A and B are shown apart, each in its own frame.
Chain A
Amino acid sequence: MTDQSRIRNFSIIAHIDHGKSTLADRLLERTGAITEREMREQMLDTMDLERERGITIKAQTVRLKYQANDGHEYILNLIDTPGHVDFSYEVSRSLAACEGALLLVDAAQGVQAQTLANSYLAIEAGLEIVPALNKIDLPAADPDGAAAEIVGILGGDPDDVARISAKTGVGVDELFEQIVATVPAPSGDPDAPLRALVFDSYYDAYRGVVCYVRVVDGELRDGDMIRFMATREEHPVNEVGVLTPRSVEVAKLGPGEVGYLITGVKEIDQIKVGDTVTTSANRATEALMGYEEPKPMVFSGLFPTDGDDFERLREALEKLRLNDASLVYEPETSKALGFGFRAGFLGLLHMEIVRERLEREYDLDLVATAPSVAYELVRTDGHQSTIRSPQDLPDPSEIQSISEPYVRAMIITPTEYIGTIMELVTNRRGSVGNMHYLSTDRVELTYHLPLAEVVFDFFDNLKSRTRGYASLDYETEGYRESDLVKVDILLNGMSVDAFSAIVHRSAAQDYGRTMVDRLRKLIPRQMFDVPIQAAVGSRIISRETVKAKRKDVLAKCYGGDVSRKRKLLEKQKEGKRRMKMVGSVEVPQEAFVAALQVDD
């Protein structure tokens, strides 16, 4: 156990790609946590998906031993966090386990939207912020300009802002010293009953649920009987340890320490991220703050392509939720797709990642339906409800009003793009809010926009209009009444619930045409003509036909090729198995995926 005065707990936070994981590499290296041979870039991005996409998705914690200039050895618990807006829940959970936050800013890009958003999170959490300019090795770096922007937000002296290159290692040693000097040591009560915050968890097939904990007061000891205060579950501790980044078993964790805890629990619902662990024998009376439940922004149906996989999907979701506390879901039934779940996500990237993780880590084949935001519905009889799926929208005659969620969007951009951004926002039914200059040529703009307009392809559009220079962050700000309609897509006269969408009336025609057009290309010719229609209520707004196929027969089948022809047909039959029947129409699984692809 380590003396609290020798512990520093901090998260590295920044806008996406500003170099958090690369800096973590340097810290791992300098402290000898890993050998040169083990080293690879963005070491803490361990998931395949993270490495493929070059972004951090999961916050990762690691415990480092650092020999400081004052002659003492310090324990540094660092948490590398993701920068993408969809994963900000990972950031806020990480912050709750720390006393400090290392705020990185790319010196070539300056302060960006998530720099601000994450700084505010750290300030709200009462953390000491250590700002640092990264990538000073880049020719385009403007450290003075970026330092001025940081000071504009956090206050202080531009000369105190560290200047480093996570890539070359310049300035990293000095930064270490600054962290030790600036980040407060933890100040838990070693004699009080145990209180440890569960800030993350995952499911291990052999060891059961593994919890990541930050001990605040008391001691977490191997073998003790512990109690999860929210779920009221009691279990003996099977193992406690620290991550170096390898798991290393220890006898106990004291106040201020960060590590992992295994009880051998395999029932997943007994563990909740945000819960407080105490000892059964000497219970704490008051739980730690815990976390605010994240508010999902978009919803989508997740269905196994093979209906028999429904139970496996349920299990997979339960396990994944341990490792992704921002995921919410409930069962849903679709006429076209059978049994599945309606899941809520923090954004489209989150949705995509969840689907990919389910498919890869749990070997499932899934269809995701068109994403939708949550609407507030008032029926003619005055009854109010929330609509998370277009399926649930009643007939227009029963609707008195529908409201949609709005967001306050913050865009940071060079001033030259203000015009084109205004245009984009107006096209997306947005209205102007504030304008705030970060420096003479960079500005922070605030707008009010329907969430549905922001969440889909707004960001891509913003990027291309501003040649990648603008960044975006948003937060919800209530509901407003809107002229919304449901567009149904009909195959051979039958509505396919998976393709229905709630859209603003002005966008109905567009959505209908796009879907009909895509489906015409995706649905193979059948034994009969298949009309594809888009409709609002009973009004058809778009229509195409997939003509019946004319010929599907082998030219010949004689004595010499019965086996071969049979094999060929068997193979084609396997392709048929991967079709979903929608009424009498065979729709390939890929068509659901491709038709619902958001970016075209």
Chain B
Amino acid sequence: MTDLSMLSADRPDTVELAAGWRSAYVHIPFCARVCPYCDFAVVGGAEDRMTEYVDAVVAEISMEPEWHRLDAVFIGGGTPSRVPSDQMRRVLDALAARFGLADDAEITLEANPEDWTSTHSDALAGVGFNRVSFGVQSFDPVVLVSLGRLHSPVQAAESVAIARASGFASVSVDLIYGHPVETELSWLHTLDTAVEVEPDHVSTYSLTVEPGTELWKQVRSGAPAPDSDIQADRWEQAASTLGVAGYTRYEVSNHARPGHGCRYNLSVWGQGEYLAFGLGAHSFRDGVRSRRVRRLDSYIERVRSGIGPIQASDVIEGWDAELERLMLGLRRAAGVNAGEAGQALLATADGARLIEAGVLAVVDDRLVAANPLLTDEIIRAVLALDGPQR
């Protein structure tokens, strides 16, 4: 694999390379308890089912037809850091045995700060992880409580230091902004503290009220919802604070130091193919996107019985794939090759309006979201394009 250490993830040459990477995602659903805003496939508690679950994941991996060597592995959740390291070793071993791992493969684990002890950190580094992404969310205790989180700001800062000490090559933190209790000062403080603990990568997400979540129910019954104008301010503050501190925003919500863009995610945005294992996980292989069942019992049952856990599949081809290429690529700071759909967009009245409004720009042969905060305006116009002779 190309050495990316000097390349920035906001550059066209880097992002175009990513389309050729092969990666794998593994979902670990276990969480200490379910956060009020979260709509991922998770189960609260259920520690006693971890081994059984990992057995099923390992079995699913062994059932997957052979493929390329993996350039990136992402073990996400849920909370993978709650699972003992020897179980995580089984997963990585199974992937390595079945597909092989590139020498410099990026191997990421999602982690919650409250789980991150030195022992556990060292053990996971020893297992082969070289990147860790912490769900920090905020450095303001008031916001953390409102988000229903179990860790403190201090724990969050310490976990980054611990990961460094264990030798993780890349450390990332996730932040959430725009909770109604969050003040501007609070957010600026969170950003400053994030910069102080010196991660290599920062994801900043605007708090989203996902249908069906606890937060959604609260808002529906009258609790204040996040204000999108305020979130726009917060986004700008993040971009500028992190920018000054040496992080480049390479996607709507992601910032990285040079060479630290998340390869797994870059490959997804580049429409690269990826395998997936575990409940609720989505794979994209040979032009087919498949979704696995979301319930723990049925996942395990279906793997055991040999039916396999896939619930539904979509073939993504032709014009459909072309639209999706733009939909994903436009989220990147480097934008996306205009190509067939891009040219079609530019020929429409929608395209002209987007350019006139300064939302879309054409740079060389690429489409770039000139105002990333309005990216979905562009994507909707893309999705509205009529295909050629359908």
Residues from chain B with a CB closer than 8 A to the CB of A573 are 380, 383-384
Can you sample 14 A-B contacts with CB below 8 Å? A527-B357, A527-B374, A551-B235, A553-B375, A554-B376, A555-B205, A556-B205, A557-B327, A559-B265, A560-B27, A560-B276, A560-B280, A560-B282, A566-B383
> Any chain A CB within 8 A of the CB of B228?
yes
Within 262-287 of B, Cβ neighbours of A (below 8 Å) are at: 264-265, 268-269, 274, 276, 280-282, 284
Which of chain A's residues have a CB closer than 8 A to the CB of B347? none
A550 and B253 contact, CB distance less than 8 A: no
- Given A528-B357, A551-B228, A563-B314, A572-B25 contact (CB < 8 Å): no
- Segment at the interface with B among A232-240, A319-327, A515-523, A576-584: A576-584
Asked if A570 is at the interface of the complex by the 8 Å CB criterion, the answer is yes
| A563/B282 in contact, CB under 8 A | yes
Q: Which of B232, B291, B358, B374 has the most CB of A within 10 A?
A: B374
**Interface residues of B, Cβ cutoff 8 Å to A:** 25, 27, 40, 74, 76, 203, 205-208, 228-229, 231-233, 235, 252-253, 264-265, 268-269, 274, 276, 280-282, 284, 289, 291, 314, 324, 327-328, 331, 349, 353-354, 356-359, 372-377, 379-380, 383-384
List 14 other contacts, CB 8 Å, given A553-B373, A569-B376.
Answer: A527-B374, A550-B228, A552-B228, A552-B373, A555-B252, A556-B253, A557-B327, A559-B274, A560-B280, A560-B281, A563-B282, A563-B291, A569-B380, A576-B384
Residues in A neighbouring B377, C-beta threshold 8 A? 527, 552
B280→A584 contact, CB < 8 A: no
Nearest Cβ distance between residue B103 and chain A, in whole angstroms?
Answer: 23
Asked whether A562 is an interface residue with its Cβ less than 8 Å from the other chain, the reply is yes
Shortest Cβ distance from A527 into B: residue:
B357
Q: Which of B76, B274, B349, B357 contacts A581 (CB 8 A)?
A: B349
> How distant is the Cα of A217 from the Cα of B40 in the complex, in angstroms?
81
- Docked Cα-Cα span, A577 to B380, in Å, equals 10
Please judge, given known A-B contacts A559-B284, A560-B282, whether A552 and B383 are in contact too, CB under 8 Å. Answer: no
In the bound assembly, the distance between CA atoms of A552 and B376 in angstroms comes to 6
Chain A residues, Cβ within 8 Å of B276:
559-560
| Residue A206 CB within 8 A of the other chain | no
Contacts A527-B359, A560-B281; A577 near B291 (Cβ below 8 A): no
Chain A minimum-CB-distance residue to B267: A559
**B40 CB, min distance to chain A CBs, angstroms:** 8
A554-B282 in contact (CB<8A): no
Per-residue interface assignment for chain A, residues 438 to 450, with 1 indicating a CB less than 8 Å from any chain B CB and 0 otherwise: 0000000000000
Q: Are B384 and A563 in contact (CB under 8 A)?
A: no
Query: Chain B residues with Cβ under 8 A from A577's Cβ?
Result: 384
Chain A's closest residue to B327 (CB) is A566
Chain A residues near B358 (CB-CB < 8 A)? 527
With a CB–CB cut-off of 8 A, which chain A residues contact B359?
Answer: 527
In the complex, the answer to whether A555 meets B229 with C-beta atoms within 8 Å is no
How far apart are the CA atoms of A553 and B379 in the complex, in Å? 9
List A contacts of B374 (CB < 8 A): 527, 549, 551-553
Residues 525-569 of chain A: 1 if any B CB is under 8 Å from the residue's CB, otherwise 0? 011100000000000000000000111111111111111001001
Instruction: Give the contacting residue for B229; candidates A550, A553, A557, A584; CB below 8 A.
Output: A550
A365 → chain B closest CB, angstroms: 19
CB neighbours (8 Å) of A560 from chain B are 25, 27, 40, 76, 276, 280-282
Residues of A within 8 A of B253 (CB): 555-556
A559 to B40, CA, bound (A): 13
Contacts of B289 in A (CB 8 A): 562-563
A64 to B359, CA, bound (A): 71
Known: A551-B235, A573-B380, A573-B383. A566 touches B228 (CB 8 A): no
- Tell me which residues across on chain B come within 8 A of A557, comparing CB atoms: 269, 327-328, 331
CA distance A549 to B376 in the complex (A): 12
Q: Are A559 and B228 in contact (CB under 8 A)?
A: no
- Tell me how far the C-beta of B79 lies from the nearest C-beta in chain A, rounded to whole angstroms: 15
Cα of A85 to Cα of B372 in the assembled complex, Å: 58
Q: Is the CB of B328 within 8 A of A562?
A: yes
**Which chain A residue has the least Cβ–Cβ distance from B228?**
A551
Q: How far is the CB of A580 from chain B (nearest CB, A)?
A: 13
Instruction: Check if B232 sits within 8 Å of A551, measured CB to CB.
Output: yes
* B375 and A558 contact, CB distance less than 8 A: no
Distance, CA A570 to CA B327, complexed state (A): 11
Give the chain A neighbours of B356 by CB distance below 8 A.
584
User: Which residues of A are found within 8 Å of B207, using beta-carbon distances?
Assistant: 555
Question: Which residues of the partner chain B approach A581 to less than 8 Å between Cβ atoms?
Answer: 349
Nearest CB in chain A to that of B274: its residue: A559
The docked-state distance in angstroms from the alpha carbon of A577 to that of B385 is 12
Chain A residues near B349 (CB-CB < 8 A): 581
Q: A550-B232, A563-B289 are in contact. Are A555 and B206 (CB under 8 A)?
A: yes
List A74-94 residues whose CB lies under 8 Å from chain B: none
Given that A527-B359, A551-B231 are contacting pairs, would A559 and B268 also be in contact in the complex, using a CB cutoff of 8 Å?
yes
A566 to B384, CA, bound (A): 12
CB distance from B256 to the nearest CB of A (A): 15
